Amino acid sequence: MTSQPFAQAQPIVFTVPDMMCGSCGKKIIAAVTGVDPTSVVTADPETKLVTILTRCDEGMVRHAIEQVGFEVAP
């Protein structure tokens, strides 16, 4: 039997228009892992996309990103 640590996790993709650099991406990653330490997060300033694999609901993750000063596109 194999372990499936993310079997319950849901993928979420956000567009964050004001993510301009790698430092912005690191702040977003830290915000998301602050609410779900087991999440897997990538933040690409070039495409403005944040991809998250998490067990948290979308609203909670969106709020965490907004709390550190970034707008999440609707």
Note the Cα 60 to chain centre separation in Å: 10
Residue range 13-62, pLDDT digits in tens: 999 999 999 999 999 999 999 999 999 999 999 999 999 999 999 999 99
Residues 61, 64, 68, 72, CA torsion sign: positive
pLDDT given at position 1: 42
Q: CA geometry: angle at 37 spanning 61 and 25, to 5°? A: 60
pLDDT confidence band for 8 (50 / 70 / 90): confident
**Among 5, 10, 7, 14, which Cα is nearest to 56's?**
10
The pTM score is 0.87
